[in-house]
Structure 1
Amino acid sequence: MTEPRVAVVLTALDIEYDAVREHLVDPVPERPESGTHYEIGTVRGTSCRVVIGRTGAGNKAAAALAERAINRFRPVALLFSGVAGALRDSIELGDVVVGSKIYAYHSAAGEDHGLRARPESWKLDHAVSEEVREIVRRRDWIKRLPAGSSLPAVMCGPIAAGEVVQKSRISQEARWINQHYNDAAAIEMEGAGIAEAGHLNRLPVGVVRGISDRAGGDKTVGNDLHWQPRAAANAAAFTIELAVALLEASPVVPRARAGADRVSSERDGVRPGGGGNVSNINVGGTVGAQGHTLGATTLQMAPAIHRGAEAELAEIIADLRALLIMHHAAGDLDRRTYQAARGELEVAESLANQEDDSCRTEAILAFKKLSGIVSDTAAVATKVALAVAALQGLA
């Protein structure tokens, strides 16, 4: 059996979400226990499956919900489709910019003589870059544009991602960007969070933006009403073509590969960890059978393991990972503290997956170390307490 392959496409605004959704056939809603809404559909004219979701505005929210989507769906690629402001006069409204590099331009240190930039950036994965160039060369993506649309230009260029809606080219914020990130082609508010989530999960990322304004005085309600739908549609058309290309280029991976999605396996009725001819199956409730021989295969029914507690723990760990990313992106955790906390979380997750009480005890200790590392962050401490309670429910 093979792992079902999907690409995740996230957006910030409803108008961006709707533009992407237009390309899917019969999208089916899915709402995991975390409460985040997604839809899964097939790209029209293909067999490629795409998951779509909304993050809302801002890099912190984008990082947290991207991490949640990655852990939930194990995609082959993480893409973001939306609108942006142009930072170059040569870029026309409606054009498409694919981020060759994403700048977190608010990364800085405050000193006596003022702010000093501490640039943080993520480069576009080489394989994604090659697919982008091929799509531009073939021009197949234009068939996905709405009927009657003019043909937008497409370029790869750096994108600046911050936490401010930029409406001026002469503000202090604009001067800062021009001084430290003057090669940026566009500006937006989610790309850095998306890029960080993809980087930490070793996942190809693509940020695709349709230009709806010039990040200046032209960003008005009237302008947005006119240009945002066009820019969102153009970005969605290119993003979907890129998702199809990445899915078709992705090798088929056996479901039993290392690191396969434990929650997905449980949904299929099979608990990972079995070896040889042994399949550990939990059908719900408490099963008392120790094992029966069926032909050459031994079927071992897992006693006293409650699927609800395992699913709850998986959701909590995903939330913890997302919280760490969010606080790191916000500057609340420096890189060293973040890496130490992430390491303890990975240790806890690995030990928690073992059906041995001593391993679960060690997992609880790892969670407590994590809580100590980020003791100033109340939200993380609360989630750690929930994780410990869920672990105790597995005992």
Structure 2
Amino acid sequence: MSALDAPFVQTSHMSRRHAFSSGVESVSQTNNASGLTFRAAHAFRGKPAMVRILFYNNFSTAVTYAKVGAATMRQVSPSLSPASTVEWTQGAPVTVPAAQPGTNNPSANYSAWMPVYPQESLDDPGTYLVTVFAYLDQSFTTYNANNYDVSWMESQSKVGGGWWAQRNQAGDQATNPGTFSSTAVQVRGPIAGIEALCENGSVIVMDCGDSITAGAGQTNLGQTDIYRACVAINSAVAANAVGAKTVSHVRCGWGGQNSATYGARCLYMLPIIRPDILVLTAGTPNDGVPSLTGQVANRAIIQQIIDLAKSQGTRVILRGWAPHSVVADNWPQGTLTTTPTYPVATVNGDVYRLDQNARSLAMDGYGNVSYTAGMSVLGDGAVPERYQAQYTTDLNHPNDAGYAFATTNMQAAILRLLAKFK
């Protein structure tokens, strides 16, 4: 029985989990002779009672972090340290499996939950700062995988829970966290995210797709329509909007992947993250020259993801396929094999994209599925359709204005589902 054949529970219940994943991956350096200690911080809009770390690993072998820990603090120091080293709670070692098959398909694993005491931020009242660390044993001498990165720099605002910062330092600063002193901002690290079990509820939104889901093409990499929508929704909560609910954002977009590879990644990540809402991009120009087999495969993996999501109570937002670039991407020349649906010998490749968006729209409201136009609203309406000039800078991805313009639809789609949670 498919997700569209069976009734879906109309009211969902928020968990106490609050999560944030920047989508980063492993460092681009050789491990130190005495190991490496990584540290990351994030501001939550709920009071954390327990904290755990989300790790990614795109290395060809499993990686073990011998020591992990968590602490809270009222202000963020340059080295992401709490006021006292005795505030740290030590956790158990964590092993992250070797990368999944395929390119840029890192494995993932959580640490065990670690208890903390919530402290309200002095700099950003209404948020609660958490910092975590992980120590990589010196035996991993060639830990140097260089992979796609959609992390945040330290200047990112904490408002809306959208703040993220990372550090690393040679040696073991886990046995005695007070010895950690590095203040250098890192844009990469194995700590992909932090999750907190808080006193209040939150709805976890996970995304999956290509570089447009990762947020490429704009000034601050990662500020997608999905991210911006989450920030806007949380800002409304901060403004005490009546009936507003907080959302948490877990990022799984990865540049260069086609619908088959990011679909496989989504099938892998769903049982690990277990989000309340999944935002799934309906297709990508990375799929190459359109074909009937490609169309069938695209719809098949979307259906697999919808079915898996339904089995674990996750609602799905299908996000419209973006227009294509004006570069030589084969889409104007691409054709579809003749079928009863297409009673002509050849079909312009862009018809494939429009057809997939239309078929996704037709699923809106059935089972656990919703639809939003996503980046398709940025098109110029021509045949074949391309981005409107003001919404792209590199001719291949939305720019700041493009992501901002598409945010309205994404925010409305998420809010529509939030009404089903209590």
TM-score (norm 2): 0.29
- Greater fraction of residues in helix: 1
Structure number with larger C-alpha Rg: 1
When the two structures are superposed, what TM-score results if normalisation uses the length of structure 1? 0.31
